[in-house]
């Protein structure tokens, strides 16, 4: 309370920085920063606790700009508070190789918690951050040691509210009673197509109340700083509900075009910026000006944040004396490293072990490692019994009042919300104390494509337990049988797509997924049983691809993944016994990891001089990179018992053998067959 | 009203058929059919108007089973009413090559309107069906000729409500005041993970009211047939709002396990089925029994439907005498054929024409053809000014009370709801009178992956106007720049992915998209300007790929799409002038269409004896199918002016030439270079 001209000077500085930067870039979105500068000023200075010199302090308040196109607001704040983001960086807004990209990117810009821009993601990441906070607090806080009590704040716009992913995660946030989550809805009545009344006339207040949120309305977000402060305070006091502040603002406040969609997505005109500066008492001939007084105010608050961290560090040190194990666990988790020797818990198998569905193998891994990896927290999108994602004795992550679990619980009931689950995992991973995993059918990871993409782009560790990974799911039929899904995510940069063939490969997939700190993984797992293979090991799996079955004088290499590897092994017998043909078998459970091996190694797996045939019951797209010929399914599947479906499409030892023979025949006249591993030049990666 | 034992006999027949079929298949979902049999009985017999002998009658009431796993309910109804679905088909439930797949498939099963199972899609399709109904009614109905007045009914469960796509489309349905849409929410409190209170505790009534729906609650959906009838009647009377009936039911009603999740997704035990049959007065030793009396009841209603269609046919014939043009237009649309000569409206270009962004070329096509193709109805997911999807003078599809348009309007404001837009387009296309199109950035088609997949599977014609198709969008940066998107949808069966290089190719893409009655299309379009190419024609484009630039004695073939084709043309000059190398250029705007050409033709485009290099600024995945070497971008892009971004990644004539030289060099020692078009065996398609 007690706002003065100094506050308005800061607010107007932010507005003008946004106008200058977008003008300078001739691109960008000035409207939202200009409209939301007042609430940002109040929130960041009166409420938020953070230390710009250490953007990774675990108990900092988190801020998410879900309407990421308004990123000049965030960049201006980061700059003013003294994060490692200079005025030159703001002058380089939206330029190649700057740290001020067109939308905020967490891995590039210090102080940006999560990568936003694709609408609906940020608010959903915020739900994940708040869940991680609640879980971490419940796990580590002790009497007298409130180690973790940060808030998660999020700004979002109409677009975020229209996207379905925000509905999924907001509904779950209400169910979970996430009191430390406070979102500010920029109710400016404008989207790209103009007035929101053309497509978005729902009652947002009522909708969020229906989810179980606390909702406050602030009528004049342009001027009423006291009202904003009061609203945030009120929300902080509501401990058992997330809060939404519906804040009425004027988009592009101060511009001659304020309140219209013309200030949404393009720079203001030069004249408009001039009058804006004059109106706010700035020199219209100067650009990128920050009054020293504004720096002083903001640096003062930053210093308070640094002091708060220092206090916290003391608290944490004293926690160490009393709760050594917990202290060390949290400290370790914050480094992203796993406990030494954890990998000894990964199960290994021999061919004498029983055939098991790889979804079950995944369950065994989770069961064996959950004890030593307390940071493993996850669940399923309402397919627990099918995904087998819940170890025996797991406690649900639930508010106590439900009687179904506690916040310290590590098993999340995501509901039928795949996209929300993905975006929540992104937020949970960003919090820094958790490795999230989420289960669904492989086919429905596609529902979450927008979130998986951001996981890859923002380089977060997370694991998709993607069961029912092919036509092998059988009766559920084509609506549920993935054809394009592996190709889709294999084409996504920095995303590991695993399709293990047996128990050792499943353990290997988890090993790499868990130790890759900056890459999400999708582990595709079978519904049907798979035998434990002769020749597979965890170690070989770590290379992404390896020779499973070598054969002196082989005439063809069969290259496969997952449930088709054992069919290839049977095809080898078929070829030997009925056709006197020798074949070798290669398993490539993960393209991304195999591609990262040396050329020498890859050529040893897929050598020159021998034709190769890939075998995978889905789209052949991408297999041409490794093999000369491809046996796959470039059509939709069929509903029926899985063996009947495999038979219909000839994914049998006989069907593979037939195509192996065709491959040998087709390549027999080619001298010096070249392995596809040989390329004319290096890819840009 | 006045329900008797006859009604209960029918209801219990449906329940037992569902139990028998899932038991026989040892797979499937008996719970929902058993719980929803009462409402289905009332709805289909007391309200719905349809003719099983002609499932395509345009004014039939539409029924969508959004909880598609409950498909035995739908199959039982179709059978009892006399659709072309026999008791043997029900015995073959979930068997390979049956018409009774594990989830309902529209293209396979007569009487199934849309393909459902992936949750949230059906209710969204229903919104599309209701929008199509409102539009078709507004377009064709005249005083005394209520040609189109059907209702759209939809059953949905908790899972559908949890999925974000249902939120998107339900919000839009409320905004659009779709009075002829009536949805029944099966409030059985059970999902796969158990009681819905573990993840889904929102207030659904309040949520739907917030969207502007009319909501009625029926407390006893198991027994209160009168209450169900009254609720549906009430909803029919609400003309300016869609309606939701929250119907409390007991999942698996009659089973010993009723009300638990164990009846959700697996067959009942033999003993349980026995007691069920006894309880309902059926012979416990017999299976798949339909009492003749049930057939009689249902066939009587079917006959009323047939009579209604006959009446309608008379009305339509009399309409012809008074409104000949409208009659002929509607009759034509129902065949799916386009007006003769429509294609003459497609613009053609010569190299003398100006360079234009292909998103703008798309706008020109829409503008030129909208007059002759009144069935073209579409819009954008709040990116109208960027997608350029709205022709000048278009009228918005809006309820009159908004003052923003009319139901006869053909431009839809979808809001920021890509997934919903896709699912709505699926419903609109299924209605039979409309060719829907929808605009968004290519990157955000991924948000709609679930709906696009169903478009391809269910074989509907629809067009995605997917602009900003590459790093060429520039400043918005990596969050918006597609890398994996084309590979993803190219791997999807029966989906055409177009990436035209200039005006003639854009016209060609639209020609194929509009004339392919059973295939969705994604047309990827540039933000940046592209020159009109020497050698491109609409006709050549129709083959999906063609030789754009031939060169006698060429040493390399450059193969490209979209905005990189003109860079390849410049690279040809660079290679000739600076390196004395001859190169030819092939454009492949659509893999799916090119693949369908004869091998002879494809080999003429990509011949033996010459190495080839693909050039496309995104994932190289899939290009190995056509070319020996690939120049692409297997990483995320960058935020900056588009020319700077292209330069950063060397997508310049020099960068292409460098790689062309490397390609020639790498392949120079290989005798008889084989075109990748040659394959050892045919793919299963």
8 A C-beta contact, residue B298 and residue B6: no
Helices and strands counted in chain B (H then E): 25, 22
* CA A173/CA A165 separation, integer angstroms: 12
Q: Is A343 a catalytic residue?
A: no
8 A C-beta contact, residue A674 and residue B611: no
| Coil vs helix vs strand at B413 | strand
8 A C-beta contact, residue A435 and residue A520: no
Tokens in use for A566? 């054992």
* CA B109/CA A152 separation, integer angstroms: 50
| Coil vs helix vs strand at A679 | coil
Q: Residue B177: left if φ>0, alpha if ψ -120 to 50, beta else—which one? A: left
Res. B148: pLDDT tops 80: yes
pLDDT for residue A40: 98
* CA A115/CA A105 separation, integer angstroms: 4
B563 to A472, B96, B503, B530, B646: CA distances (angstroms): 40, 44, 12, 6, 11
Res. B28: pLDDT tops 90: yes
A137 to A134, A307, A326, A406: CA distances (angstroms): 5, 21, 12, 11
Residue B324 backbone phi and psi in degrees, to 5: -60, -50
pLDDT for residue A339: 98
Average pLDDT over residues A59-69: 98
Burial class (CB in 10 A: 0-12, 13-18, 19+), B114: buried
Q: Show which of B261, B289, B307 is a domain's final residue.
A: B307
Q: Show which of B286, B307, B328 is a domain's final residue.
A: B307
- Dump pLDDT digits (tens) for B353-369: 999 999 999 999 999 99
Residue A556 backbone phi and psi in degrees, to 5: -155, 145
Proportion of chain A in helix, strand, coil states, percent, rounded to 5:
45, 15, 40
- Do A297 and A350 lie in one domain? The reply is no
* CA A350/CA A45 separation, integer angstroms: 61
CB < 8 Å to A475, chain B: 25, 27-28, 94, 102
Spatial CA neighbour of A209 closest among B163, B216, B188, B204? B204
* CA A12/CA A34 separation, integer angstroms: 8
C-alpha distance from A501 to closest chain B C-alpha (Å): 23
Average pLDDT over residues A618-646: 98
A298 to A221, A282, A375: CA distances (angstroms): 21, 19, 35
C-alpha distance from B275 to closest chain A C-alpha (Å): 27
- Can you point out the beta strands (E) in A213-322? 214-218, 243-248
Average pLDDT, whole number, for chain A? 97
Judged by CB atoms closer than 8 Å, whether chains meet at B96 and A638 is answered as yes
| Coil vs helix vs strand at A381 | coil
Question: For an interface test with B, which of A72, A173, A416 has the most B Cβ atoms less than 10 Å from its Cβ?
Answer: A416
pLDDT for residue B606: 98
Domain presence at residue A326: no
Tokens in use for B198? 């573990």
| Coil vs helix vs strand at A192 | coil
Judged by CB atoms closer than 8 Å, whether chains meet at B191 and A639 is answered as no
Residue A228 backbone phi and psi in degrees, to 5: -65, -45
- Dump pLDDT digits (tens) for B412-454: 999 999 999 999 999 999 999 999 999 999 999 999 999 999 9
Nearest chain A residue to B161 by CA distance is A416
Residue ranges of the alpha helices (H) in B466-534? 485-490, 503-515
* CA A521/CA A513 separation, integer angstroms: 6
8 A C-beta contact, residue B545 and residue B601: no
Taking every pair of Cα atoms in chain B, the longest distance, rounded to a whole number of angstroms, is: 90
Average pLDDT over residues B516-542: 98
* CA A356/CA A531 separation, integer angstroms: 6
- Do A616 and A499 lie in one domain? The reply is no
Domain presence at residue B684: no
- Do B94 and B229 lie in one domain? The reply is yes
CB-based contacts of A229-232 (< 8 A; 24+ apart in sequence): A229/A1, A229/A42, A229/A46, A232/A42, A232/A43, A232/A46, A232/A47, A232/A182
Nearest chain A residue to B398 by CA distance is A198
- Do B508 and B596 lie in one domain? The reply is no
Res. A683: pLDDT tops 90: no
Reported confidence tier of residue A364, pLDDT bands at 50, 70, 90: very high
| Coil vs helix vs strand at B14 | helix
Asked if B443 is an interface residue toward chain A (Cβ–Cβ < 8 A), one would say: yes
- Dump pLDDT digits (tens) for A77-136: 999 999 999 999 999 999 999 999 999 999 999 999 999 999 999 999 999 999 999 999
Reported confidence tier of residue A684, pLDDT bands at 50, 70, 90: confident
Domain presence at residue A570: yes
Spatial CA neighbour of B634 closest among A592, A180, A502? A592
The CATH number linked to B602 is 3.40.50.920
**What does the DSSP assignment read for B271-301?**
HHHHHHHHHTT--TT--S---HHHHHHHHHH
Residue B261 backbone phi and psi in degrees, to 5: -75, -10
8 A C-beta contact, residue B150 and residue B236: no
Residue B211 backbone phi and psi in degrees, to 5: -80, -10
- Do A233 and A295 lie in one domain? The reply is yes
Q: How many CA atoms lie within 13 A of A459 on its CB side?
A: 13
* B98, B209, B662 ranked by CB distance to A681: nearest: B662
pLDDT for residue B683: 84
Res. A685: pLDDT tops 80: no
Judged by CB atoms closer than 8 Å, whether chains meet at B198 and A396 is answered as yes
CA A22, A23, A24, A26 dihedral sign is positive
Domain presence at residue B48: yes
pLDDT for residue A75: 98
Q: Which residues contact A669 (CB under 8 A, 6 or more apart)?
A: none
Tokens in use for B669? 């020692």
Average pLDDT over residues A501-511: 98
Average pLDDT over residues A49-75: 98
- Dump pLDDT digits (tens) for A529-551: 999 999 999 999 999 999 999 99
- Dump pLDDT digits (tens) for A278-313: 999 999 999 999 999 999 999 999 999 999 999 999
C-alpha distance from A541 to closest chain B C-alpha (Å): 23
CB < 8 Å to B635, chain A: 493-494, 684-685
- Do B29 and B173 lie in one domain? The reply is yes
- Dump pLDDT digits (tens) for B663-680: 999 999 998 999 999 999
Domain presence at residue A674: no
Residue ranges of the alpha helices (H) in B246-400? 270-279, 292-322, 324-335, 358-369, 384-387
- Residue B274's domain comprises 5-307
Chain centroid to CA A106:
11
Q: Name the DSSP class of B684.
A: P
- Do A508 and A553 lie in one domain? The reply is no
- Do B267 and B396 lie in one domain? The reply is no
The CATH number linked to A371 is 3.40.50.970
Average pLDDT over residues A611-628: 98
Asked if B527 is an interface residue toward chain A (Cβ–Cβ < 8 A), one would say: no
- Do B358 and B416 lie in one domain? The reply is yes
8 A C-beta contact, residue A216 and residue A231: yes
Q: Residue-wise over A281-292: b if at least 16 C-beta within 10 A, else e?
A: ebeeeebeebee
pLDDT for residue B657: 98
Tokens in use for B68? 């598609």
CB < 8 Å to A119, chain B: 416
- Dump pLDDT digits (tens) for B309-320: 999 999 999 999
- Dump pLDDT digits (tens) for B46-89: 999 999 999 999 999 999 999 999 999 999 999 999 999 999 99
* CA A618/CA A616 separation, integer angstroms: 6
Domain presence at residue A142: yes
> Of B168, B309, B326, B418, which residue is the catalytic one?
B418
Domain presence at residue A318: no
* CA B224/CA B226 separation, integer angstroms: 5
- Dump pLDDT digits (tens) for A647-682: 999 999 999 999 999 999 999 999 899 999 999 999
Domain presence at residue A683: no
- Do B347 and B251 lie in one domain? The reply is no
Instruction: Give chain A's domain count.
Output: 3
Q: How many CA atoms lie within 13 A of B256 on its CB side?
A: 11
* CA A135/CA A558 separation, integer angstroms: 47
Judged by CB atoms closer than 8 Å, whether chains meet at B645 and A96 is answered as yes
Please count the residues of chain A: 685
**What does the DSSP assignment read for B580-613?**
---EEEEE-S-HHHHHTS-HHHHHHHS-TTS-EE
Residues 114-173 of A with CB under 8 A from B: 115-120, 158-160, 162-168, 171-172
Nearest chain A residue to B662 by CA distance is A680
pLDDT for residue A667: 97
Tokens in use for A188? 């400016």
- Do B280 and B356 lie in one domain? The reply is no
Reported confidence tier of residue B684, pLDDT bands at 50, 70, 90: confident
Please count the residues of chain B: 685
Q: Show which of A530, A564, A589 is a domain's final residue.
A: A530
Q: Name the DSSP class of A519.
A: -
- Tell me how crowded residue B238 is: count the other CB atoms within 10 A of its CB: 15
CA trace torsion B397, B398, B403, B406 (10° rounding): 60
- Do B487 and B619 lie in one domain? The reply is no
**What does the DSSP assignment read for A43-56?**
IIIII----TT-TT
pLDDT for residue B106: 96
- Dump pLDDT digits (tens) for A456-503: 999 999 999 999 999 999 999 999 999 999 999 999 999 999 999 999
Q: Name the DSSP class of A629.
A: E
- Dump pLDDT digits (tens) for B207-257: 999 999 999 999 999 999 999 999 999 999 999 999 999 999 999 999 999
- Dump pLDDT digits (tens) for B458-501: 999 999 999 999 999 999 999 999 999 999 999 999 999 999 99
Q: Which residues contact B586 (CB under 8 A, 6 or more apart)?
A: B545, B546, B547, B548, B557, B558, B559, B560, B605, B606, B612
């Amino acid at each position: 309370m007690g706002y003065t001209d100094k506050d308005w000077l800061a607010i107007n500085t932010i507005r003008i920085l946004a106008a200058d930067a977008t003008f300078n870039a001739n691109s960008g979105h000035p409207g939202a920063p200009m409209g939301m500068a007042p609430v940002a000023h109040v929130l960041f200075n009166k409420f938020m606790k953070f230390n710009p010199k250490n953007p990774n302090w675990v108990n900092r308040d988190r801020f998410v700009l879900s309407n990421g196109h308004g990123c000049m607001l965030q960049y201006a704040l980061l700059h003013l508070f003294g994060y490692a983001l200079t005025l030159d960086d703001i002058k380089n807004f939206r330029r190649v190789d700057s740290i001020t990209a067109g939308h905020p990117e967490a891995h590039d810009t210090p102080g940006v918690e999560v990568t936003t821009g694709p609408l609906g993601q940020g608010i959903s990441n915020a739900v994940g951050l708040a869940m991680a906070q609640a879980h971490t607090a419940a796990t580590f806080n002790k009497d007298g040691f409130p180690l973790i009590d940060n808030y998660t704040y999020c700004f979002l716009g109409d677009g975020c509210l229209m996207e379905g992913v925000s509905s999924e995660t907001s509904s779950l946030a209400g169910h979970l009673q996430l009191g430390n989550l406070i979102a500010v809805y920029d109710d400016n009545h404008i989207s790209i197509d103009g007035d929101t009344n053309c497509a978005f006339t729902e009652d947002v207040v009522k909708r969020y109340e229906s989810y179980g949120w606390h909702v406050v309305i602030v009528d004049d977000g342009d001027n009423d700083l006291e009202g904003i402060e009061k609203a945030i305070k009120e929300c902080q006091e509501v401990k058992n509900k997330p809060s939404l502040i519906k804040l009425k603002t004027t988009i592009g406040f101060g511009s001659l075009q304020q309140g219209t969609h013309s200030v949404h997505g393009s720079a203001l005109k030069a004249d408009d910026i001039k009058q804006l500066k004059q109106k706010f008492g700035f020199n219209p001939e100067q650009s990128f000006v920050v009054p020293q007084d504004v720096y002083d105010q903001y640096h003062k608050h930053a210093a308070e944040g640094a002091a708060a961290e220092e206090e916290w560090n003391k608290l944490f040190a004293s926690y160490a004396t009393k709760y050594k194990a917990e202290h060390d666990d949290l400290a370790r988790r914050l480094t992203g490293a796993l406990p030494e020797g954890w990998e000894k818990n990964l199960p290994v198998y021999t061919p004498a072990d029983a055939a098991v569905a790889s979804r079950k193998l995944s369950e065994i891994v989770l069961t064996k490692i959950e004890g030593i990896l307390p940071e493993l927290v996850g669940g399923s999108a309402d397919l627990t019994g099918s995904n087998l994602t819940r170890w025996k004795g797991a406690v649900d992550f639930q508010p106590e009042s439900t009687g179904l679990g506690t916040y310290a619980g590590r098993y999340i009931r995501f509901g039928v919300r795949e996209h929300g689950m993905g975006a929540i995992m992104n937020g949970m991973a960003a919090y820094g104390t958790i490795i999230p995993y989420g289960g669904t059918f492989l086919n429905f990871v596609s529902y979450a494509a927008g979130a998986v993409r951001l996981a890859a782009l923002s380089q977060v560790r997370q694991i998709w337990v993607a069961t029912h990974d092919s036509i092998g799911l059988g009766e559920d039929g084509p609506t549920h049988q993935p054809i394009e899904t592996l190709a889709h995510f294999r084409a996504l940069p920095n995303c590991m797509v695993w399709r293990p063939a047996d128990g050792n490969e499943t353990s290997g997939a988890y090993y790499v997924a868990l130790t890759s700190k900056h890459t999400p993984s999708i582990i595709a797992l079978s519904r049907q049983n798979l035998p434990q293979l002769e020749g597979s090991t965890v170690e070989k799996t770590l290379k992404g691809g390896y020779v499973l079955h070598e054969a002196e004088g082989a005439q063809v290499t069969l290259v496969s993944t997952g449930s088709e590897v054992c069919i290839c092994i049977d095809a080898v017998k078929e070829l030997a016994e009925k056709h006197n043909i020798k074949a070798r078998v290669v398993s490539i459970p993960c393209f991304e990891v195999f591609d990262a091996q040396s050329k020498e190694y890859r050529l040893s797996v897929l050598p020159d001089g021998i034709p190769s045939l890939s075998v995978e019951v889905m789209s052949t797209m991408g297999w041409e990179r490794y093999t000369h010929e491809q046996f796959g399914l470039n059509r939709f599947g069929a509903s029926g018992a899985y063996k009947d479906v495999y038979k219909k499409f000839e994914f049998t030892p006989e069907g593979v053998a037939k195509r192996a023979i065709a491959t040998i025949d087709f390549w027999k006249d080619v001298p010096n067959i070249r392995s596809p591993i040989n390329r004319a030049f290096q890819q840009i990666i």
